[in-house]
């Protein structure tokens, strides 16, 4: 196909869009809504994923000590902890302090502890681990290492819930793929029908073009461009509306929803580009299907 025909095809495609503007407005609106649903899902997914991984960057560990641990052993343990990558000792809780904390936590019911013959709670060390660019502390390895140390009774860390969240995120991801796929099919159906309508409206013109020697591709190309234009316009507007919604939510509504504490960000450029390109791709594919079905000349 001759390259110089590019402007001709583009002109034809734009003329088609102008002639069938109502059909295209309906098509674009429906596509925007579908892409917007998908974009909203993507925005939520991206932020929730960010929050969870943000929390996952730090975890706390409680190291419970055996009763009667020697001071020298305790000092050795503390220096071992300080040497662990990303570790910061948050609090050292003595047996007495642990007892008082529990009593305070129980409030009015605290007097149940009065009858105990001796304090059953162990002393403990609260440690917070933070990931850095160079290293990511591995809780299970640390637990095993610290537990073997003389004078350590038990080690617990706060990552169990994170695993559950990651499982939830996998489900979320799967749901996203299913929703995305279904919406993609819907969009494809819309574009196919829009282009079908424009083909019908230009059937006479197509027939005459074929009679004067137009090749199939010469006739098809403006329709393919038309579908791509519809996809591009829909992609652009869906991103614009999505950003508008994000802006309103992040500025005004965040406090009400209690999201102010969390860092609510817009989807990254890569995702924006993906939505845009997928939209154009769906437009092109929809036109292709419409042409394949109805181009029997």
What is the binding site for other proteins (CB under 8 A)? 1-2, 4-5, 8, 204-205, 207-216, 218
CB count, 10 Å around CB of 255? 10
Locate 183 and state its tokens.
């919406």
* Nearest CB to other proteins, comparing residues 196 and 202: 202
* Nearest CB to other proteins, comparing residues 105 and 212: 212
As measured in angstroms, the least distance from the Cβ of 28 to other proteins is: 23
* Nearest CB to other proteins, comparing residues 189 and 295: 295
Sheet (strand 87-93) strand order:
87-93, 124-130, 58-65, 152-157
As measured in angstroms, the least distance from the Cβ of 203 to other proteins is: 12
Close Cβ partners of 121 (under 8 Å, ≥ 6 residues apart): 95, 98, 99, 102
* Nearest CB to other proteins, comparing residues 200 and 247: 200
As measured in angstroms, the least distance from the Cβ of 174 to other proteins is: 45
Residue 203: exposure state from Cβ atoms within 10 A (0-12, 13-18, ≥19): exposed
As measured in angstroms, the least distance from the Cβ of 25 to other proteins is: 21
As measured in angstroms, the least distance from the Cβ of 15 to other proteins is: 10
As measured in angstroms, the least distance from the Cβ of 216 to other proteins is: 7
Residue 63: exposure state from Cβ atoms within 10 A (0-12, 13-18, ≥19): buried
What's the CA gap between 182 and 274, in Å, rounded?
Answer: 17
As measured in angstroms, the least distance from the Cβ of 5 to other proteins is: 6
- The H or E element that residue 152 is part of is strand 152-157
281 close to 226: Cβ distance less than 8 angstroms: no
Distances (CA, A) of 124 to 140, 142, 147, 155, 236: 18, 16, 13, 9, 56
* Nearest CB to other proteins, comparing residues 33 and 209: 209
Close Cβ partners of 265 (under 8 Å, ≥ 6 residues apart): 46, 47, 50
| Bridge pairing between strands 152-157 and 58-65 | antiparallel
* Nearest CB to other proteins, comparing residues 10 and 169: 10
* Nearest CB to other proteins, comparing residues 51 and 218: 218
């Amino acid at each position: 196909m001759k390259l110089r025909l590019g402007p001709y095809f583009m002109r034809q495609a734009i003329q088609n869009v102008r002639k069938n503007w109502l059909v295209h407005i309906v098509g674009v609106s429906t596509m925007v809504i579908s892409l917007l649903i998908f974009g909203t899902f993507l925005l939520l997914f991206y932020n929730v994923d960010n929050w969870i991984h943000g929390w996952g960057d730090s975890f706390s560990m409680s190291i419970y000590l055996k009763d009667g641990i020697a001071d020298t052993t305790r000092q050795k343990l503390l220096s071992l902890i300080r040497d662990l990558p990303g570790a910061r000792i948050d609090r050292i809780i003595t047996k007495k302090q642990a007892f008082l904390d529990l009593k305070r936590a129980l409030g009015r019911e605290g007097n149940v502890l009065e009858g105990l013959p001796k304090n059953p709670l162990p002393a403990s060390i609260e440690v917070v681990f933070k990931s850095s660019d160079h290293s990511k502390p591995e809780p299970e390895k640390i637990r095993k290492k610290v537990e073997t140390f003389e004078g350590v009774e038990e080690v617990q860390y706060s990552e169990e819930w994170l695993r559950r969240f990651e499982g939830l995120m996998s489900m979320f991801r799967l749901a996203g793929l299913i929703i995305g796929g279904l919406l993609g099919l819907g969009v494809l159906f819309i574009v196919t029908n829009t282009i079908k309508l424009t083909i019908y409206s230009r059937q006479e013109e197509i027939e005459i073009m074929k009679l004067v020697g137009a090749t199939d591709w010469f006739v098809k190309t403006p329709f393919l461009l038309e579908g791509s234009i519809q996809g591009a316009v829909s992609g652009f507007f869906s991103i614009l509306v999505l950003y508008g919604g994000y802006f309103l939510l992040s500025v005004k509504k965040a406090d009400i929803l209690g999201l102010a504490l969390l860092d609510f960000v817009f989807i990254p450029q890569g995702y924006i580009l993906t939505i845009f390109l997928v939209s154009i791709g769906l437009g092109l594919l929809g036109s292709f299907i419409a042409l394949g079905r109805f181009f029997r000349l």
